[in-house]
Amino acid sequence: MNVVVGITGGIAAYKAVNVVRGLVLAGHDVHVVATDAALRFVGRPTLEAISRNPVYSELYEGVAEVRHVAIGQAAELIVVAPATANTIAKLASGLADDLLGNTILASNAPLIIAPAMHTEMWQNPATVANVATLRSRGVRFVGPAIGQLTGSDSGPGRMAEPDEIVAAALTAVGRQDLVGRRILITAGGTREPLDPVRFIGNRSSGKQGVAIARAAAARGGEVTLIVANLDDGVLSGLSSTVSVQQVSTTRELQEAALLAAGTAELIVMAAAVADYRPETVAAGKIKKETQGDTLELRLVRNPDILHELTDSRHDGQVIVGFAAETEPDRDALLVLGAAKAARKGVDYLVVNRVGWNETFGSDDNTVIVLDATGRNVAEANGTKASIADRILDVVL
């Protein structure tokens, strides 16, 4: 989705960076329109790096492409964060004396405003009237929150937290087709300790599973996300409505997943689960002096969590498994997938190819979704965010 983030001149502008980041991570094409005052609080290079697009602020630049209306016409959603009292007053009056004003006036997209100002300004009758005017025109407000303001004062006026703004913005435009649905998602890769400092693990970053959690939450789902050893930053900007539990080993994941599965209507097992664990875990660090030139590890089978979940499935519960395979031949991959779907007893199996340089840690993915009978019901290629939505569409 094409999203415009308008940033105006308040100290909370530095927090707007995380609003931009959250929207980008959710898979959106984000264009920042900043006022001159905003650029005194946060640098253009920061906003360009995070949004991955040029930042526009000048009304008289890009005139040949009629930029002052083009940005607003292309926008599917506009978020103004932070919005100062001055900007809110201008928007209520329909003023267009800067690029942001023109962009908003030229747009039919839903408008979300996250105000940030001192309490006296927020409670001033002028601001109260302006907010009421904008609300009556369908503009949605997120916050302000009550708390510490820039000076020594505190009260209503603090900008809402970035993840709250992102969630509200996506809710305003998104399909709300998972409202009230209880969804359990696992992500990341389990690790099995050898001794207090070493483990056997896998290369799953957790990005695809977390993308499914983001998408399900944006569509109104009540999401429980069990994560094992995610790469740094994968959870950043995740809506606070998602309940996150951290585990590390397969048996910890098993315990958490079986417990959470009781009330879940949809389970998505995106985690890469260690099939084996060391039979014994050394109490102290394994030392070369005692091991000599070779070290033999004896591994024992871990429980198959997905199998246990499908065995204890309750009525109406839909269970989705993943299969990361290195098989290069497409037909052979589909045969492997169909056999795995049947063996695991899942309703859907998301098959993706992995390799030394494929998929792990990447923002993109290519998947084939099979149903319980092994029939190919969907194929998708793109960002992990877009694939997350596609998987949820299939399940719905």
* Interface contacts to ligand CTP, rule CB under 6 A: 250, 269, 271, 273, 275, 302, 304-306, 321-324, 344
- Maximum Cα interatomic distance, the chain, rounded to a whole number of Å: 80
Rounded to a whole number of angstroms, the minimum distance from the CB of residue 326 to ligand CTP is 10
Rounded to a whole number of angstroms, the minimum distance from the CB of residue 239 to ligand CTP is 23
Closer CB to ligand CTP, residue 275 or residue 393? 275
Query: With contact defined as beta carbons under 8 Å apart, do 122 and 134 qualify?
Result: no
From 18, 102, 130, 202, the catalytic residue: 202
Rounded to a whole number of angstroms, the minimum distance from the CB of residue 272 to ligand CTP is 6
Rounded to a whole number of angstroms, the minimum distance from the CB of residue 302 to ligand CTP is 5
Rounded to a whole number of angstroms, the minimum distance from the CB of residue 367 to ligand CTP is 12
Closer CB to ligand CTP, residue 174 or residue 321? 321
Closer CB to ligand CTP, residue 76 or residue 275? 275
Beta strands in the chain (DSSP E): 2-7, 29-34, 77-83, 111-115, 140-141, 145-148, 154-158, 182-188, 192-195, 198-200, 222-228, 243-247, 266-269, 276-278, 299-301, 318-325, 348-353, 364-371, 376-383
Tokens of 69: 């209306």
Angle at 146 between CA 143 and CA 151, to 5 degrees: 115
Rounded-to-integer distance, Cα 141 and Cα 135, Å: 8
Rounded to a whole number of angstroms, the minimum distance from the CB of residue 321 to ligand CTP is 4
Residue with structure tokens 């949004």?
51
Nearest to 212 by CA among 273, 274, 272, 267: 267
Closer CB to ligand CTP, residue 19 or residue 269? 269
Closer CB to ligand CTP, residue 55 or residue 227? 227
Residue 65 neighbours by CB distance under 10 Å? 10
Closer CB to ligand CTP, residue 74 or residue 372? 372
Nearest to 70 by CA among 107, 29, 111, 20: 107
Q: Cα Rg for the chain, rounded, in angstroms?
A: 25
β-pair type (364-371, 376-383): antiparallel
Conformational region of residue 153, where left means phi above 0, alpha means psi within -120 to 50, and beta covers everything else: beta
Is 202 a catalytic site residue?
Answer: yes
Nearest to 11 by CA among 117, 144, 164: 117
Rounded to a whole number of angstroms, the minimum distance from the CB of residue 379 to ligand CTP is 18
Closer CB to ligand CTP, residue 154 or residue 312? 312
Nearest to 185 by CA among 215, 226, 221, 218: 226
> What is the set of active-site residues?
202
